[in-house]
Structure 1
């Protein structure tokens, strides 16, 4: 299951999160998640789905031996990082995030919509 371990490491790196953070978001111990990252163990289906969800990808992507890496723009990567992070939040946390994002959008609109 080497492609899985490689894809797991790569996806967390793409999202800018540590293995410990990925484990926390998936509700797994660092040790258990470390076994998957190292290729020593394979997750059951339910765990695989949970990991894929918190990493903002699919089980198929994690399991595939993909030779062609999908190139994404920095904006797409930021959106993927945000999606993966929000998957681990509770409703109250999501409400706070929505308020922050709306405030940022309002400030941007008032500034004339200028982009950085």
Structure 2
């Protein structure tokens, strides 16, 4: 899976265990309850932590993080919540709300089940 907070323990089976956990939640909650997940934007984190083609069998929707694309960990200032990658963006990779949603749909997430989280 993806580390999340520094120091978190990561196990090779975390990706599959997340799918099993979501499936168990759905089983216990039934179809009347809404089941969602807060999801990362970075393709590397998606690939490391999620079986995209499987989890959306159980989730009603997923909220994709649409902010904190850039920050103090980078040497240059950049838009931290851009909807689209601005021309001439000073850093790579070029994260944006649009590229984050595309990363999920490219991996099999249904468009109708994705919500873009925005900063407020």
TM-score in terms of structure 2 length: 0.22
- More strand, by proportion: 2
- More helix, by proportion: 1
Instruction: Indicate the structure whose relative CO is greater, using CA pairs within 8 Å and at least 6 residues apart.
Output: 1
**Structure possessing the higher radius of gyration over alpha carbons:** 1
TM-score in terms of structure 1 length: 0.23
